[in-house]
Amino acid sequence: DAGVIQSPRHEVTEMGQEVTLRCKPISGHDYLFWYRQTMMRGLELLIYFNNNVPIDDSGMPEDRFSAKMPNASFSTLKIQPSEPRDSAVYFCASSPLEPGREKLFFGSGTQLSVL
């Protein structure tokens, strides 16, 4: 299996622009997570899905952030409009249903820089 695939690997954009991050989870996994990593706050869960349904989005910072999972093999995290404080590494992760749901497999992340 290719693992969790994220694109792009790097994204540089200007303040106010829309940014879309993409994720393809491991085939057969039922859970998908979006995490954000910054120096100040470390790794934080933004949102997670179970069978394509958002379960907990309490970590989404504000209405500028939205996430979708239209099917089992694809998810997006959108920021509109982007701000410099959104600069971070965004990770997507997936995990299977029991047993082993606690074993998250992470993608390589998207490094987002908002100028």
15 binds another protein (CB under 8 A): no
Please pick, from the candidates 20, 52, 76, 108, the single residue that binds another protein as defined by CB under 8 A. Answer: 108
Nearest to 72, CA basis, from 40, 110, 111, 24: 24
Question: What whole-number distance in Å separates Cα of residue 1 and Cα of residue 44?
Answer: 26
From residue 47 to residue 76, the character string flagging contacts with another protein as x (rule: CB under 8 A) and all else as - is: -x------xx--x-----------------
How far is CA 103 from its chain centroid?
17
Nearest to another protein of 7, 81 (CB atom): 7
Degrees (nearest 5) of the Cα angle 53, 5, 99?
55
Among 52, 66, 111, 113, binds another protein (CB under 8 A): 111
Paired tokens of 89: 């590494």
What is the DSSP code (8-state) at residue 2? -
Binding residues with another protein: total (CB under 8 A): 23
Is 13 one of the binding residues for another protein (CB under 8 A)? no
Rounded to an integer, what distance in angstroms lies between the CA atom of residue 102 and that of residue 97?
A: 9
Q: What residues from 31 to 50 belong to the interface with another protein (CB under 8 A)?
A: 31, 33, 35, 42-43, 45, 48
Which spans of this chain sit near another protein (rule: CB under 8 A)? 31, 33, 35, 42-43, 45, 48, 55-56, 59, 89, 91, 93, 101-109, 111
